[in-house]
Chain A
Amino acid sequence: DAGVIQSPRHEVTEMGQEVTLRCKPISGHNSLFWYRQTMMRGLELLIYFNNNVPIDDSGMPEDRFSAKMPNASFSTLKIQPSEPRDSAVYFCASSLEGGLAKNIQYFGAGTRLSVL
């Protein structure tokens, strides 16, 4: 089975540009998570969805960040406008929540974003 698929793997952009990160969760999973990893702050949860509905976006740093999940197999994280301090590795993870599931989150390979 394919795991969580993220694209692009690497993104280099200039300050002020719009950046869109994409994620395809594992088929059948009903929850999707966006994380950001930096040396200074470690792994931070930005937002998560359950059944395509945003449940908790308290980790989204500011209004420049937005996330959508239009259907069960696709999500985007958009940064507009981007700033150098947004440079980080962004991970998407998915899990099956509910019932007897252990609710293990499986991560994608990450997108390394560099904002110049």
Chain B
Amino acid sequence: AQKITQTQPGMFVQEKEAVTLDCTYDTSDQSYGLFWYKQPSSGEMIFLIYQGSYDEQNATEGRYSLNFQKARKSANLVISASQLGDSAMYFCAMREGRSNDYKLSFGAGTTVTVRA
């Protein structure tokens, strides 16, 4: 079964507007971490934001925030005030809590195109 599901293959957003990227996950662990990465056209993978399963507050990093809804097993990324440089592919990933398992499971990604 897919551990991370990103249902939006591609999205368009107008510059300066906000965009929400969906991510749902599947785990039976109580302790886990959720990550978002950005991959611009140049190809590198850039870490954006992290949310721990026990974190009570939603994570925020500058214009990025994570809408974490534990009961729904969703961890949506919100990018506020979109900029042209935000055009990229965005990946949601999860690390489950087993102490000796450091693997990340990645979703298929969502391509965001910011229009001027």
**Chain B interface residue bracket vs A:** 20 to 34
Q: When the two chains form their complex, are residues B43 and A105 in contact, meaning their CB atoms are under 8 A apart?
A: no
Are the CB atoms of A103 and B33 closer together than 8 Å? yes
Is the Cβ of B106 less than 8 Å from the Cβ of A48?
no
**B44 touching A107, Cβ below 8 Å:** yes
Task: For A95, list chain B residues within 8 Å (CB).
Answer: 102
Residue of B nearest to A45 (CB): B103
Cross-chain contact of B52 among A33, A56, A102, A109 (Cβ < 8 A): A102
Provide the bound-state CA to CA distance between A93 and B52, in Å.
20
| Contacting residues of chain B (42-83) with chain A, CB-CB under 8 angstroms | 43-47, 50, 52
- Chain B: minimal CB distance from A35 (Å): 8
- B100 on the A face (CB < 8 A): yes
Interface presence of B91 (CB below 8 A) = yes
CB of A113 closer than 8 Å to a CB of B: no
Structural contact, B35 and A104, CB atoms closer than 8 A: yes
Contact A55 B109 (CB under 8 A): no
Q: Does A116 contact B (CB under 8 A)?
A: no
Roughly how many angstroms separate A42 CA and B105 CA in the complex, as a whole number?
Answer: 11
A-B contacts, 23 listed (Cβ < 8 Å): A33-B104, A42-B108, A42-B109, A45-B103, A45-B104, A55-B102, A56-B101, A56-B103, A89-B43, A93-B45, A95-B102, A102-B33, A102-B52, A103-B33, A103-B102, A105-B104, A106-B47, A107-B37, A107-B45, A108-B44, A109-B43, A109-B44, A110-B43
Q: 9 closest A-B pairs (Cβ-Cβ)?
A: A107-B45, A43-B106, A109-B44, A102-B50, A110-B43, A42-B108, A45-B103, A31-B102, A104-B47
